[in-house]
Amino acid sequence: MVILSVDYGDKRTGIAVCDRLEMLASPVKVIWGDYAPKVIAEIEKLAAEYRAQQIVVGLPKNMDGSEGERAEKCRAFAEALSEKTGIETVLVDERLTTVSAHKALNVTNVRRQKRKDVVDAVSAVMILESYLKTRK
């Protein structure tokens, strides 16, 4: 099944997708902007382009497992995304994915500005990989 992954943020939203066999997660793009309806419309286009059958949205929990304001925003975003696209949306714990993405980009020596441009897409890949592991 083709699954699209979303790392929803205030200014940038990272997108990743996996292949039909659910073996390889790849970054797609970073959507810049903070207007949720515009971001949802862009994701809807990508979901159609990649023929996504499911969408995974990262849920930013606190380290103690509780949920704060950001998690509430992501829940509302995921619900609106599901309504708009008609595609099942699943929330996945995304604790530390951005930190891990920065570390991965440091190891590969990606420079500061380039890192800012891709870190959210890399985070979306990590969210998707985490989800794919739970499906196996």
Segment 96-104 mean pLDDT = 55
pLDDT at 27: 93
CA atoms within 13 A of residue 108's CA, in its CB half-sphere: 11
Contact between 72 and 61 (Cβ < 8 Å) = no
Task: For residue range 19-69, list pLDDT tens digits in order.
Answer: 999 999 999 999 999 899 999 999 999 999 999 999 999 998 777 777 788
Q: What percent of the chain has pLDDT over 70?
A: 82
Q: State yes or no: pLDDT of 79 exceeds 90.
A: yes
List the chain domain ranges.
3-135
Confirm or reject CATH 3.90.79.10 for domain 3-135, answering yes or no: no
| Cβ atoms 29, 119 nearer than 8 A | no
pTM for the structure as a whole = 0.84
The CA distance from 132 to 136, in Å, is 7
pLDDT for res 136: 77
Q: Is the pLDDT of residue 118 over 80?
A: no
Q: Chain-wide mean pLDDT for the chain?
A: 86
What SS3 state is found at 55? strand
pLDDT reading at 98 higher than 70: no
